[in-house]
Structure 1
Amino acid sequence: MTEFTPWQSLSGGMLIGLSAVLLMALHGRIAGMTAILSGLLPGAENRVWRLLFFAGAVIAPFLLIRFGMEIPFRSETPMLWTVLSGLIVGVGVTYGGGCTSGHGICGNARLSPRSVVATLTFMLTAGLTVFVVRHLLGGF
């Protein structure tokens, strides 16, 4: 079971929201990580802001640790399951027209009906998956 960290969670959520608002206000772009990552591929346009956004997302946890904050994260999931899950998510992102951050944070904030349906779908699927893994398959 993951430890409940309300203040860290609130701070993180506020920073994610702020970054999404700033990216939309300053660049007219949605802060969906999948689109940002795919925009780093050779030949893509506007690679500089994408690289900076991605670098900030990767570097931030290391900075927090460096300045003494503990990040309570651990996973006992086997690497094979993690890789397979990532591939399945990649397929879902392709068919769903965006990732959880793009739909869940930015799309819902813009009241996009497509994003509301996508968010409900992946939240219900995630809940069902957790139930099946923990209660029907005995957990991992």
Structure 2
Amino acid sequence: MTIDWTNFTPLASAAGGALIGLAAALFVLFNGRIAGISGILGGLLQWPRGDSAWRVAFLLGLVAAPLAYGMFAPLPAVRVEAGTATLVAAGLLVGVGTRYGAGCTSGHGVCGLSRMSPRSLVATGAFMAAGFATVLIVRHLIE
């Protein structure tokens, strides 16, 4: 294994991680809710609800943040090395997994682990193991 020193950005990555942690902490402090994307989006799909305004604002912020960043610096090129069928299958598997696991990487991996939730520890271990296995199979065994 080699390190791509051109794209090795530990300071920017640490700053990004700190911002995600700060945002998650402020969200639970001021809103009393976990910043889990699947739960926020899933809550919009359960109609009617009285708390849809903050959910829409949160999701719009996820889209607006990179667009705002793009006004000041060039966005990295998007490169997807998978076909449409693979992307659709992956999206469906992730969606089903987040429903069965009662949360996603942001809910369990960021917010749940920081709250020392045993359920989030198991869920994070499960989706990390599934990701490792998928990369091993798709990138190393099939090719």
TM-score (norm 1): 0.89
Please give the alpha-carbon distance, in whole angstroms, between the structure 1 residues aligned to 2:9 and 2:74.
12
Which residue among 68, 84, 95 is the counterpart of 1:79?
A: 84
Q: CA deviation at 1:87?
A: 0.5
Give the equivalent residue in structure 2 for 1:126.
131
Please give the alpha-carbon distance, in whole angstroms, between the structure 1 residues aligned to 2:89 and 2:81.
15
Residues 75-109 of structure 1: CA distance to partner in whole angstroms, max 9, x if unpaired? 12112211111101111111111111100000000
Q: Does 1:135 align with 2:111?
A: no
Q: CA deviation at 1:38?
A: 1.4
Q: CA deviation at 1:72?
A: 5.0
Give the equivalent residue in structure 1 for 2:94.
89
Equivalent residues of 1:39, 1:45 under 8 A apart = no
Code of the aligned partner of 1:28: G
Give the equivalent residue in structure 1 for 2:52.
47
Q: CA deviation at 1:112?
A: 0.4
Equivalent residues of 1:65, 1:71 under 8 A apart = no
* Residue ranges of structure 1 left out of the alignment (5+ in a row): none
Q: CA deviation at 1:136?
A: 0.7
Please give the alpha-carbon distance, in whole angstroms, between the structure 1 residues aligned to 2:77 and 2:125.
27
Give the equivalent residue in structure 2 for 1:37.
41
Kindly, what percent of the aligned residue pairs are identical? 48
Runs of 4+ in 1 over 6 A off after TM superposition: none
Give the equivalent residue in structure 2 for 1:16.
20
Is 87-96 or 33-42 further displaced after alignment?
Answer: 33-42
TM-score (norm 2): 0.87
Matches within 5 A, 1:109-120: 109-120=114-125
Secondary structure of the corresponding residue to residue 97 of structure 1:
coil
Equivalent residues of 1:31, 1:106 under 8 A apart = yes
Q: CA deviation at 1:46?
A: 1.2
Please give the alpha-carbon distance, in whole angstroms, between the structure 1 residues aligned to 2:76 and 2:9.
10
**Matched positions, count:** 138
Code of the aligned partner of 2:137: V
